[in-house]
A and B are shown apart, each in its own frame.
Chain A
Amino acid sequence: MKRLLNLLVVPVFAAGLASAQMNGPVPKSFVNYAAEPASIAAKKPAVVELHFKVLDGYHMNSHTPKSELLIPTVLKLEPATGVKLGAIDYPVGHEYSFSFNPQEKLDVYTGDVTLKTHLTAAAAGTYTVKGVLSYQACDNAACYPPKKLPVEIEVTAK
């Protein structure tokens, strides 16, 4: 009887554990981009902020993760006519450890993340700069394949 109970109960218990690991479908994107039009002075170096939000419960590696095997967050902007692109400033990440491995310290972004891009508009006018944010996200028990998030910046130079 005990054996029969084990046969019946153990698989159900195991299935319960498995389902407890993941609740609901995996999101298609773990980071949202809030596109905001920027206004800058023409012919002068300017800084435009790009605002991202990492979904609650997830984190992504910072631009400078602590292991060479980890995939850093990188923003790549495409050259745009009339706009000279400069450096991109990444925020400092914060220390994070998985609860199952507290010894390993990671450097991650969570919540609101602001990147700053330096650029100069050659003349007055409206410009569109396109790019891609590459990142790799995890939650507290799993990781997700690297993603690419399209980014578009509308810049009006006066």
Chain B
Amino acid sequence: MKRNLAVLGVVALLVAALVWAGVQNLRARRLAAEKAKQAPELALVKEGAAPPTPSVSADSFVGDLDLRGKPAPAFTLTTLEGKKVSLSDYKGKPVLVNFWATWCAPCKLEMPWFEELRKKYAGQGFIILGISEDEDEPKEAIAKAANKLGVTYPILLTDHKADKAYGDFAILPMSFYVAGNGTIVEQSAGLGSKDDIETKIKKTIAATGAM
């Protein structure tokens, strides 16, 4: 009888512990959900803050750099016309951030495609920001190259910080497709096909619309 009582006691204690753990878990989940609701819509990394840590995955590229699924690092850069432009200015819109340089032939091949696709998807809020990685070229030479390519989207001048925030990549062209909530949906290194670029743009627009 005594033994039975002891067993019952242990079982009761175990059940109580399980119930307590369940309640704590539920509370924690509710709290996390509440915090998520209160989080800002645009999950950009603040300027000057540590960039997202690239993860290594089976389909990662550019060495170990893969920022997909991570918040896009924020930046404020100056356009060729001297205007300040921030990524956060385009909160809620699908944005293609393209790093290029005047000395990069593959970059200059895809830029007219970008311009064409920008016009095609402008109705869905699609934005392109081109960031020139030229170091020694005067602004006039960069503007001349962009004009020659028929580019009308903003060309921003590098501050040598934005590229580092985006993984300090050592390859051009380099593009990041940012959804309206500030998450990097896709990225590409080197010249891709026009179809591939359009697929990534559509994915970014879809991801923005789904938010």
Is B179 engaged at the interface, CB distance under 8 Å to the other chain?
Answer: no
Q: Which residue of B lies closest to A147 (CB)?
A: B170
Q: How far, in angstroms, from A139 to B190 measured CA to CA in the complex?
A: 9
Q: Does A106 contact B190, Cβ atoms closer than 8 Å? A: no
Q: Does B199 contact A10, Cβ atoms closer than 8 Å? A: yes
Q: Which residues of A contact B173 (CB under 8 A)?
A: 142
27 contacts between A and B (CB under 8 A): A14-B199, A14-B200, A15-B59, A17-B192, A18-B61, A18-B192, A19-B59, A21-B61, A26-B63, A26-B170, A26-B171, A69-B102, A69-B141, A98-B106, A100-B109, A141-B106, A141-B190, A141-B191, A142-B104, A142-B172, A142-B173, A142-B190, A142-B191, A143-B104, A143-B105, A143-B171, A144-B172
Interface residues of B in 79-113 (CB under 8 A from A): 101-107, 109
Looking at the complex, which one of A14, A16, A25, A145 makes contact with B63 (CB distance below 8 Å)? Answer: A25
Q: Which residue of B lies closest to A104 (CB)?
A: B105
Is B137 engaged at the interface, CB distance under 8 Å to the other chain?
Answer: yes
Extra contacts besides A100-B109, A100-B191, A143-B101 (20): CB < 8 Å? A13-B199, A14-B186, A17-B192, A18-B188, A19-B61, A21-B189, A21-B190, A22-B62, A23-B61, A26-B63, A69-B103, A69-B137, A69-B141, A98-B105, A98-B109, A101-B105, A141-B191, A142-B173, A143-B104, A146-B103
Looking at the complex, which one of B101, B104, B105, B199 makes contact with A106 (CB distance below 8 Å)? Answer: B105
Q: How far, in angstroms, from A138 to B170 measured CA to CA in the complex?
A: 11
Q: Does B64 contact A25, Cβ atoms closer than 8 Å? A: yes
Interface residues of A in 16-35 (CB under 8 A from B): 16-19, 21-26
Is B152 engaged at the interface, CB distance under 8 Å to the other chain?
Answer: no
Q: How large is the interface on A (under 10, 10 to 19, 20 to 34, 35 or more residues)?
A: 20 to 34
Looking at the complex, which one of B62, B172, B188 makes contact with A143 (CB distance below 8 Å)? Answer: B172
Q: Which residue of A lies closest to B163 (CB)?
A: A145
Q: How far, in angstroms, from A16 to B186 measured CA to CA in the complex?
A: 12
Residue count of chain B within 8 Å CB distance of chain A: 35
Q: Which residues of B contact A136 (CB under 8 A)?
A: 103
Chain B min CB distance to A86 (Å): 27
Q: How far, in angstroms, from A111 to B20 measured CA to CA in the complex?
A: 70
User: Could you list which residues of chain A lie within 8 angstroms of chain B, going by C-beta atoms?
Assistant: 10-11, 13-19, 21-26, 69-71, 98, 100-101, 104, 106, 136, 138-139, 141-146
Given contacts A142-B189, A145-B133, contact A22 B171 (CB under 8 A): yes
Q: How far, in angstroms, from A100 to B188 measured CA to CA in the complex?
A: 17
Chain B min CB distance to A68 (Å): 8
Q: Mark B99-136, 1 if CB is under 8 A from A, else 0.
A: 00111111101000000000000000000000001010
Q: Which residues of A contact B103 (CB under 8 A)?
A: 69-71, 136, 143, 146
Q: How far, in angstroms, from A14 to B107 measured CA to CA in the complex?
A: 19
Q: Mark B163-193, 1 if CB is under 8 A from A, else 0.
A: 0000000111100000000000011111111
Q: How far, in angstroms, from A145 to B103 measured CA to CA in the complex?
A: 9
Q: How far, in angstroms, from A19 to B106 measured CA to CA in the complex?
A: 17
Q: Which residues of B contact A104 (CB under 8 A)?
A: 105
Chain B min CB distance to A46 (Å): 34
Q: Which residues of A contact B188 (CB under 8 A)?
A: 18, 21
Is B143 engaged at the interface, CB distance under 8 Å to the other chain?
Answer: no
Q: Which residues of A contact B190 (CB under 8 A)?
A: 21-22, 139, 141-142
Q: Which residue of A lies closest to B63 (CB)?
A: A25
Q: How far, in angstroms, from A22 to B63 measured CA to CA in the complex?
A: 8
Q: Which residues of B contact A17 (CB under 8 A)?
A: 192-193, 196
